[in-house]
Amino acid sequence: MISFRGVRKTYRLKGVRKVIVDDVTLDLPSDRNIAILGENGAGKSTLMRLIAGAELPDRGRILRHGIVSWPLGFSGGFNGDMTGMENAKFVARMYGEDTERVVAYVEEFSELGRSMSLPIKTYSSGMKARLVTCPPVDPSV
């Protein structure tokens, strides 16, 4: 479970403070899939970074009971000069997983085809989203 307790996150943009989340208290259960939907600029990516621990809230606490697995834990750490395949292998090695099994899983889920062999910096935002939103590999498979 991931718990938000009184979380506030703001950014300063062009001298103006923008509130992304304000006094949010919620529990994200570990036995459910959760979708984050919203318009451009609504704070979806910020929320994902907060969940992953890649960004800290301005106020409040985020409690993680368990391990935040990729892509949440490492999507911000993808290297744009490396291919999608190289990045998937890198993350698999970080988790001690079988690299070929992870790459096959990511290729099937993301449906990027030959683009998996291109540097991530050449991907459209939609292609990047498909790569980084690939769910964790089930180790029992």
Note whether residue 50 is domain-resident: yes
From 38, 64, 90, the end of a domain falls on 64
Q: Indicate if 19 and 44 belong to the same structural domain.
A: yes
pLDDT digits (tens, 9 = 90+) for 8-59: 999 988 899 999 999 999 999 888 888 888 887 888 878 887 887 778 999 9
Q: Indicate if 56 and 94 belong to the same structural domain.
A: no
Note whether residue 70 is domain-resident: no
> How many structural domains compose the chain?
2
For the full predicted model, state whether its pTM sits above 0.75. no
- Cβ proximity of 28 and 1 under 8 Å: yes
Two tokens, residue 31: 């036995």
The domain of 45 spans 2-64
Q: Indicate if 14 and 60 belong to the same structural domain.
A: yes
The predicted structure's pLDDT at residue 26: 93
Helices (H), the chain: 44-52, 84-94, 99-110, 125-132
Q: Indicate if 6 and 59 belong to the same structural domain.
A: yes
From 64, 96, 117, the end of a domain falls on 64
